Amino acid sequence: MAVLNNKKSKVSDEVPTSSMADIAFLLLIFFLVTTVFPKDKGLAIVLPEESETVEVNQKNILHIVIQPTGIVEVRRGESQQVQQVSANEIEGIWRQDVASNPNLIAGVKTHPDAPYKFMIDVLDALQTAGADKISLQVLEN
Amino acid sequence: MAIKQGGFSRKSKTSDEIPSSSLADIAFLLLIFFMVTTVFRTDQDREITWPSAEATEKIDEKAKNILNIWVERSGGIFINDQPYTMDQVSEVVGPLYAQSDRRLVISIRGDREVPYMTMDQLQKELVSAGVVRVVFATELEQRMTRQRR
């Protein structure tokens, strides 16, 4: 007990660097794994080819007119009766109508001043309902 | 010149371990290299508010076969960071479409408030360029947020 501090400390006076590589590799692998390349997404449609016009029987068309306020007017084939609905009701209407007429075509006519998002809402509802025969037009008057 | 202790007693000073101190440097170098060289997109994002849709699906096409057409709220059209007028679109897209072996997919990235008139003109331009596959770029909308609206 008489002698103190005569033994040299065995603890190294350097910062331990041996685990540094592990840390760096861990970061490297973490970033390699978590990097997600943003994939393009959206609503796919197929445009008609130029000069490709098809005569369609009026009764096979579901007329959908989009007004600048976002109100959607639905008219079935030859009937003059107009039904005012909101965009998300289109899904149910399409499902109902296509069940009775499998050849149904959705004719979406958008008012030139209507914001693009209302057309997307209707297109979204139609695609959610599984419609594939969709015609996009601008409302002419 | 007597050799002390026969000259065989000194231990070699060379360490018997693989030097690992530079391993960290190598790893960091790789880390920084990949961080710097990673390129996410070829054209710059423009200031638009995405329309949202529930039926949003991923485009099943290689990134190099996708051409983005940006339509800003003011009506400005940008392709590959270059502004164009509406009449120029078909002239620009036509050759690119032919180059891609008719595999090009056009991703229309329009602001949600753009009047539909602009979108209709754009579609007509694309039709005259012969493009068939078009995607309206949207954000995925959850059913919950839809119901709240």
- DSSP H helices, chain B, are 23-37, 89-99, 116-128, 143-148
Nearest to B112 among A41, A66, A115 (CB): A115
pTM for the structure as a whole? 0.72
B86-119 pLDDT, tens per residue? Answer: 988 989 999 988 888 888 899 999 998 999 999 9
Surface-to-core class of residue B130, CB atoms within 10 Å of its CB (0-12 exposed, 13-18 middle, 19+ buried): middle
N-terminal to C-terminal alpha carbon distance within chain B:
99
Q: Specify the residue for token string 């331990």.
A: A16
pLDDT-based confidence at residue B77 (cuts at 50, 70, 90): very high
Whole-angstrom distance, CA of residue B129 vs CA of residue B110: 19
What are the tokens at A32? 């390699």
Q: Is the pLDDT of residue A80 over 70?
A: yes
| B3 in contact with A, Cβ within 8 Å | no
CB contact under 8 A, A47 and B134: yes
| pLDDT for position B136 | 92
What number of residues does chain A have? 141
Q: What is residue B88's DSSP assignment?
A: G
Dihedral sign, Cα of residue A89, residue A95, residue A97, residue A103: positive
Q: Which residues contact A3 (CB under 8 A, 6 or more apart)?
A: none
Please give the DSSP secondary-structure letter assigned to residue A9: P
- At B26, the pLDDT band (50, 70, 90 cuts) reads confident
The pair phi, psi for residue B90, each rounded to 5°, is -65, -30
Of B31, B58, B113, the CB nearest to A39: B58
Which pLDDT band, with edges at 50, 70 and 90, does B1 fall under?
Answer: low
- Contact between A24 and B51 using a beta-carbon 8 Å cutoff: no
DSSP H helical ranges for A1-141: 20-34, 90-100, 116-128
Report CB contact under 8 Å: A124, B55: yes
CA distance A38 to chain B (A): 8
Query: Of the candidates B11, B106, B113, which has an alpha carbon nearest to the alpha carbon of residue A45?
Result: B106
Taking residue A5's Cβ as centre, other Cβ atoms within 10 Å add up to 6
Look at residues A74, A54, A72, A53 and name the one whose alpha carbon lies nearest to residue A62. A74
Least confident of A1-15, A29-43, B86-100, B134-148: A1-15
CA atoms of A78 and A59, how far apart (whole Å):
6
Q: What are phi and psi of A80, to 5 degrees?
A: -95, -5
Task: Give the phi and the psi of residue B97 in degrees, each rounded to 5.
Answer: -70, -40
Q: With bands split at pLDDT 50, 70 and 90, how would you rate the model's confidence at A22?
A: confident
Q: Place B20 in a pLDDT band, splitting at 50, 70 and 90.
A: confident
